[in-house]
A and B are shown apart, each in its own frame.
Chain A
Amino acid sequence: DAGVTQSPTHLIKTRGQQVTLRCSPKSGHDTVSWYQQALGQGPQFIFQYYEEEERQRGNFPDRFSGHQFPNYSSELNVNALLLGDSALYLCASSLVGRGGTDTQYFGPGTRLTVL
């Protein structure tokens, strides 16, 4: 049973560019959440997708957008990159529909460096 997978593992971009990060949830899960973790900090909630719609959003600007596909996989897009966007981006999946539990499973993350 594959866990949560993310791609790519590492990414280097320059200021002003755009980036897309990808996440495949654990088999059987229907909800994907994205978190940003700056160095030395705890993860911060970006947004969550369920049934292909953004279900809730944290305190992040509109430069951060996402999408969920019919197979429950998800993308995180960041436009007009800033140096401060450098962080580890974590994807978590869980099962909300059909009476699932609250346990969330995290992927290994994508390390984004903005130069």
Chain B
Amino acid sequence: KQEVTQIPAALSVPEGENLVLNCSFTDSAIYNLQWFRQDPGKGLTSLLLIQSSQREQTSGRLNASLDKSSGRSTLYIAASQPGDSATYLCAVIQGAQKLVFGQGTRLTINP
């Protein structure tokens, strides 16, 4: 059974810092990995999708990496801003587009 773990559960940093969120998974037989952002009480916004054959994806200040052999992914956020405050979820995609999520990292950027 696939299990996805995100560390840390919560993170608070001052504005402007670069930061890394971690995601690990137990079964390397995945199709893709997807990072989402969730604002309080809201739905999920897709940030980055990494195909299983890729090593990383970039979008603006966000960079996500994937190492299937070690069962790890990281989300790097450069020059953090207060508007980046949210919960970040990673999910691995297994057969037939079923997403298995981690519990999320609650990120707070302090002005």
Do they bind each other? yes
Given known pairs A43-B99, A43-B101, A96-B97, the reply for A90 and B32 (CB within 8 Å) is no
Across-interface contacts of B41 in A (CB, < 8 A): 88, 109, 111
Indicate the size class of the contact surface on chain A.
Answer: 20 to 34
Selected from A40, A44, A106, the residue in CB contact (under 8 A) with B44 is: A106
Bound complex: CA of A5 vs CA of B4, how far in Å? 28
Interface residues of B, count at CB 8 A = 25
Q: Is there a chain A Cβ closer than 8 Å to B61's Cβ?
A: no
Across-interface contacts of A106 in B (CB, < 8 A): 36, 43-46
Q: Of A13-21, A64-72, A74-82, A97-105, which stretch is located at the interface?
A: A97-105
Residues on B lying within 8 angstroms of A by beta carbon are: 4, 31-32, 34, 36, 41-46, 49, 89, 91, 93, 95-104
